[in-house]
Amino acid sequence: MNTPLNKVTCPVFQKNRIETLTDGVFAIAMTLLVTGLNIPQLNGIIISGSVDSILINLFPDFIHYIIAFVLLAGFWWSSHLRSQYTHSIDSTMSFLTITTLLFVGLIPFSTNLAGDFPLNTHATIIFELNLFAIGLLSVLQWNHLLHNTTCLDPNVNRNVLFLNRTDAYIFPVLSAIAILLAILSIPGGIFIYFVTPVYMIVMWLKETKIHAIKKKKVQKTV
């Protein structure tokens, strides 16, 4: 009996191994983000005015924490979708995934740096470049699935992959805009990422609609 083509061309990893690694790195990075919310040590009695000033000083850190956490959740969601569409992982996808995790692991550092120095252009750009790298790698992974389908589930519609790749562009585009605003010394560029939660809700509604349509088709054929 001849070996199926996809078994020959896609022999590197079972996808559950890379899924476990990916989930672990994302979980650790998202947990470590909270360590950037450091409360300074105060000598003597803490009065209400001191607490208020601490909260005000922590505001940039808190904003960066929320943005980084939501973006990491979005990147993880995108990774989860790609995994659902594949039955195994080839060497190129493994390389892209490992490289993505490299930058995911740097997110707590770049987030803390940008939160501690919110008005420093270099600190802001490092944070934005970190996010840009992850977003670009996500696009490259979707693009790889579109052009190398040997590891795909045979039931996957290529149009779905195309739409997901198009959706993934929002992350590097937002990062590129934020980097440009930082270079031009225009404050508030970080708030552009608040578009992301709206985008994630739209993604969730889209996936829910797709599953509902598939369910109706299955019910009609029964």
Residue 211 has pLDDT above 80, yes or no: no
Name the pTM for this structure: 0.79
Residue 136 has pLDDT above 80, yes or no: yes
Long-range contact pairs involving 172-180 (C-beta distance under 8 Å, separation at least 24): 172/132, 172/135, 172/136, 172/139, 173/135, 174/131, 174/135, 175/128, 175/129, 175/131, 175/132, 175/135, 176/132, 178/124, 178/128, 178/131, 179/125, 179/128, 179/129, 179/132
Q: Which of 39-43, 162-166, 202-206 has the lowest mean pLDDT?
A: 39-43
Q: Higher-confidence residue: 8 or 116? A: 116
Stretch 160-169: mean pLDDT: 84
Residue 128 token pair: 């934005």
Stretch 125-145: mean pLDDT: 94
Identify the band that residue 47 occupies on the pLDDT scale cut at 50, 70 and 90: low
Quote the mean pLDDT of the chain: 81
Question: What gap in Å lies between CA 204 and CA 86, rounded to an integer?
Answer: 20
Residue 72 has pLDDT above 90, yes or no: yes
Q: Which of 93-107, 143-157, 207-221 has the lowest mean pLDDT?
A: 207-221
pLDDT cut 90: percent of the chain above it: 31
Question: What gap in Å lies between CA 199 and CA 196, rounded to an integer?
Answer: 5
State the Cα angle at 126 between 124 and 128, rounded to 5°. 70
**pLDDT (0 to 100) of residue 218:** 59
Domain positions in the chain are 5-37+47-193
